[in-house]
Amino acid sequence: MRIRELRPGDPAVKQLTELVRHMSERLAEEGSAAAAAVVAQSATSVLVAENDDEKVVGMISLFEFDAFSGRHGWLEDLVVDPGARGDGVGQDLMDHAVALARRRGIEKLLSCSHPRRLAANRTHVAAGFDLSESNLYHVRFDAPRSTPVS
């Protein structure tokens, strides 16, 4: 297995559509053009894991940004093809993303995972993440608000 960073125009971008389908059918329907747009963003790095046949079997995205509190990064889109799960692909991707963030001078790296995703949570801990005591809020503009504010 090999882990590498995708570049704009990389033919492997077309393979991301099937991989993304494991996260979101809606995202997969947007196709390789949407994946190419993400890869082309200057503050984004998409790492992929490829097997010996050059099939993409996993990915993770690193988004970088500067804030008043320093240089930050956010990890997103860690997904591994079901046929490659349990082989350490997710951990290898996470470790490579963390190392890339260090090399890029990121001072604080953030990521999240649902508590039910036990393997993903173990991957974060093994990569050096600490569980935050912070609430993570989000707004979904494509769905009705589900949590009333009291």
Q: What structural domains and CATH numbers belong to the chain?
A: 2-126 (3.40.630.30)
Low-confidence stretches of the chain (pLDDT < 70) are 26-28, 143-150
Q: What pLDDT is recorded for position 22?
A: 75
Q: Beta strand pairing status for 56-67 and 44-50? A: antiparallel
Q: What pLDDT is recorded for position 90?
A: 95
Whole-model pTM: value is 0.86
User: pLDDT per residue over 93-110, tens digit each?
Assistant: 999 999 999 999 999 999
- Residues contacting 71, CB < 8 A, separation 6+: 64, 65, 104, 105, 106, 107, 108
Q: What pLDDT is recorded for position 96?
A: 98
Q: What pLDDT is recorded for position 17?
A: 81
Query: What average pLDDT does the structure give for the chain?
Result: 89
